[in-house]
Amino acid sequence: PELSEEPPAEMVKMTKSKTFQAYLPNCHRTYSCIHCRAHLANHDELISKASKKCYRAGNVTSVLFFSRVNVGCGPAEERVLLTGLHAVADIYCENCKTTLGWKYEHAFESSQKYKEGKFIIELAHMIKDNGWE
């Protein structure tokens, strides 16, 4: 199922070269698409920050987020990942269409249920923005 969440009005900005794009507040540390600089997530939405835990898919390092902005979602399909069978949907930057990672739609193992509805973004596709010093 595709998400149709609308960002709050104060987060939406219209530009000539892009369709609608959500901008996260400048007062927060954010992550952006490394390819086009569209905002992707607020640091507060990062699940793995406390444990410094990164997720791996083969030799790709990723992080897990509660939510995201400016990210589209493809159709769900079943995949065997390192942690077992999951139904996942590829996610992509709405601005430049780069595949960023995936959304966990369903976890078949009970120990992995906490990932359902969460988003994996590969570190290679994002950059830190706003407030990182």
Average of per-residue pLDDT values in the chain:
79
What DSSP element (H or E) covers 67? none
Residue 4 included in any domain: no
Q: Is residue 91 part of a domain?
A: yes
DSSP state of 130: S
pLDDT at 54 exceeding the cut of 80? no
Where in the sequence is the domain holding 98, given as residue range(s)?
Answer: 30-129
* Residue 103, domain member (yes or no): yes
Give the integer Cα–Cα distance in Å for 49 and 57. Answer: 18
| 12 in any annotated domain | no
pLDDT of residue 67: 85
Tell me: pLDDT of 15 over 50.
no
Neighbours of 89 (CB within 10 A): 18
Contacts of residue 48, defined as CB under 8 A and 6 or more positions apart, other chains included, come to 54, 55, 63, 64
